[in-house]
Amino acid sequence: MSNPRYPHTQFSEQDIKDLSATMKVGILGTVTPEGLPHLTLITTLMASSPKEMVWGQFMEGVSKQHIKQNPKTGFMVMGLDKNVWRGCAVYTHSAKEGREYDFYNNTPLFRYNAYFGVHTVHYMNLIAQTGKHPLPMNQIILAAVKTMIAKFFSLKHEKAVVLNLWSKAFYDKIDNLKFLAYVGADGYPVIIPLIQAQSLDREHMIFSFGAFGEELSQIPANIPMAVFGMALSMEDVLVRGTYQGAKRSAGVKCGVVQLDYAYNPMPPTPMQIYPEVPIEAVIEF
């Protein structure tokens, strides 16, 4: 696979060491049965060899179902030093024992946890990756300011209440992390840090092109797009909708996503929250 976005087809020894850190942000991009992008926080995501990635599962969620139906994935890992790796990989198999299984369950997070441990390890073959690069914090701060300007001068025209009050406030916090995903022409999810994103209203997300602008400019209009938001307190939420393309507001180049879906990935019960799923009575036991 030749992709200028991901010039490396292997992990270096230093990459493998860095990606094995327990404290990091790992984001896995998967594709739903409908061909839509989905993002999940996977803190156990790491490289186990120059050509292989693994992650440990300790709770349920739809991403685990997605990879069984479509093995193409995208990933992003960010360390505490704000260095980032992004790329794509193919799911190959899962195991409930082995070297990686033992490694995860002997880390402090799981070894001394009385409630849960890693019960399954998932394996992926690396296709390509960016190599380690720093998150451009100066550009991100400026992009966040530009987003606020564009948001102030943009028309608000919500018709659906996709974001509840908590989710809207969550996405508007400048210090919360956000990540964008769409399915590329090759079928792999592409993940881009989008910390500058904010809610335009309760049906739209807006973001300036000030950070990762070149990549954002290459995204075609009218494709499905997901935006995952998370806090370091481990709160997170996922929304999805249709990308409206680039526009200018108060001279700021920005993109807008019209939302039609919201998902709560947090335990104890990850579930769709918009459109609302009817509650059905249990009649069989």
For a pLDDT cut of 90, what percent of the chain falls above it?
73
Average pLDDT of the chain, as a whole number: 91
Q: Tell me, yes or no, whether 104 lies in a domain.
A: yes
Task: Indicate the number of domains in the chain.
Answer: 2
31 with 141, same domain: the answer is no
Say which CATH number the domain at 164 has. 2.30.110.10
Confidence label for 170 from pLDDT (cuts 50, 70 and 90): very high
Task: Supply φ then ψ for residue 166, to 5 degrees.
Answer: -65, -45
1 pLDDT more than 50 = no
Task: Domain of residue 104: give its range.
Answer: 13-134
Show which of 134, 161, 193 is a domain's final residue.
134
Whether 206 is covered by a domain: the verdict is yes
228 in the same domain as 199: yes
Q: Which long-range contacts (CB under 8 A, 24 or more apart) does 145-148 make?
A: 146/196, 146/208, 146/210, 146/252, 146/254, 147/196, 147/197, 147/198, 147/206, 147/207, 147/208, 147/210, 147/252, 147/254, 148/198
CA geometry: angle 5, 251, 137, nearest 5 deg? 45
Q: Between 58 and 119, whose confidence is greater?
A: 119
147 and 31 in one domain?
no
pTM confidence score:
0.92
Last-in-domain residue among 92, 109, 134 = 134
d(CA 196, CA 206): 9
Q: Check whether 156 has a pLDDT greater than 80.
A: yes
In a domain, 169, yes or no: yes
Per-residue pLDDT tens digits for 213-271 = 999 999 999 999 999 999 988 799 999 999 999 999 999 999 999 999 999 988 777 88
Residues 6+ apart with CB under 8 A from 4: none
Q: Is the pLDDT of residue 117 over 80?
A: no
Confidence of residue 285 (pLDDT cuts 50, 70, 90): low
Residue at 7 is within a domain: no
Final residue of a structural domain among 75, 105, 134:
134
pLDDT of residue 112: 63
pLDDT tens digits, 181-201: 999 999 999 999 999 999 999
Question: Does 167 lie in the same domain as 192?
Answer: yes
Q: Is it the case that residue 123 has pLDDT exceeding 60?
A: yes
Model pLDDT, residue 64: 87
Structure tokens at 178: 């956000």
Span of 102-116, 123-137, 248-262 with lowest mean pLDDT: 102-116
Q: How many CA atoms lie within 13 A of 221 on its CB side?
A: 7
Residue 267 falls inside a structural domain: yes
